[in-house]
Amino acid sequence: MIDGQIDYSSYTRAQLFDALRHIDRARYPLNLANLERALAVAPPGTDLNLPVNPVPFPAELDRWNWGAFVLSWLWGAFNRVYVAFWALVPVVNLILVFYLGARGNRWAWESRFWHDAEQFRRAQRRWAIAALAVTVVSIAGAALLVVSIESKLRNAEPTKLAVELADKNPRVVQLLGAPLAVGWFGATGSLQEKASPDSTGTHLTIKVTGPKARGVITAEGKKENGQWKFDKLILVPAGGREPIDLAPKTEP
C-alpha cells in the first residue's frame, strides 16, 4: 500500500468514486494502492467520463492496428472511434480501412480513458486475435465454397457425358490419348437448375488431360425429357490444333 502519498482532500467524493470505477479490475484489485494509481493518472479536476483521453498518446503505440483494419466499424463502435462507421459506405471503406489500420491506435487512445499503455495493448491485442479468427474463418469458408462449387461442376452429369463423348472420339484419342481426366478446378461455368429437371441448362469449360496431351472442352446444352442435348460441344487440343466437334451426329 502507498497510502499517504496523495492528498485526498483535493478530490471530491465523486472524483474518488469515478477513479475507483475506472480501475482495470481484470488486472488490479480494488484497493487503496490502485486507487492512488488511478488518481495519479487522472489529477484533480479530470473528468474520467470525457470522451477524450487526457494522457498524451505514447509513441510506442504508434503502430498498425489489425483489429481496426479487419473489423472496421465494429472495432470503432467499441472503441468510440465513430469515424469507422464510414466503412459501411461502399468505395469509401476501401480507403478508410487503411486509415483505421494506420491511425486506429491513436484514435482509440484519444477517444477513451486508458490507465496506461499496457491496458491499451491488452485491449487491442484481443481485437487483433478476433480479427485473425474472422480472417481465418472467412478464408476457410470461401475456400470451402469454391471447392464445393467446383466439385459439383466436375461431377455433374453434363461434364461426365462431355468427357465420355471425347473419350470415344477417334481424333481425340489420337491426339490426346485415352482416358481423359478432369483435375481439380478443371471445370468452370454454370449449371442452371430451374423448377423442372427438363429445363436444366449448362455452359461449361472443362480442362482435360490425356496420356499424350491436354485440351479444353466447351459444352453448351440443355436437358430435355431426361436427356442431355448439346448445342455446342467442342474440344480444343493444346498447341493451337484445330478444334474437334464432339457433338453426336443426329440422323436426318
The pLDDT score that the predictor gives to residue 124 is: 96
Contact between residue 189 and residue 205 where contact means Cβ atoms under 8 Å apart: yes
pLDDT recorded at residue 2: 39
Extents of the domains making up the chain: 1-49, 53-154, 156-245
Which amino acid appears at position 164 of this protein? E
Q: What 3-state DSSP class applies to 239?
A: coil
Walk along the chain (252 residues) and give the pLDDT tens digit of each residue: 334 455 556 656 566 656 655 555 445 555 666 666 655 655 555 555 545 566 788 999 999 999 999 999 999 999 989 999 999 999 999 999 999 999 999 999 988 878 789 989 999 999 999 999 999 999 999 999 988 888 888 888 888 888 999 888 999 998 998 898 887 777 787 776 554 555 567 888 889 999 989 999 888 888 877 788 888 889 999 887 888 888 776 544
pLDDT at 126: 96
Tell me, what's the pLDDT at 96? 94
Confirm if 232 and 244 have CB atoms less than 8 A apart. no
Kindly report whether the global pTM for this prediction surpasses the value 0.75. Answer: no
Kindly calculate the radius of gyration of the chain based on its CA atoms and give it in whole angstroms: 33
**What is the Cα–Cα distance from 100 to 74, expressed in whole angstroms?**
12
3 state DSSP class of 124: helix
Q: In what order do the strands lie in the sheet with 201-209?
A: 181-192, 201-209, 214-224, 227-237, 244-245
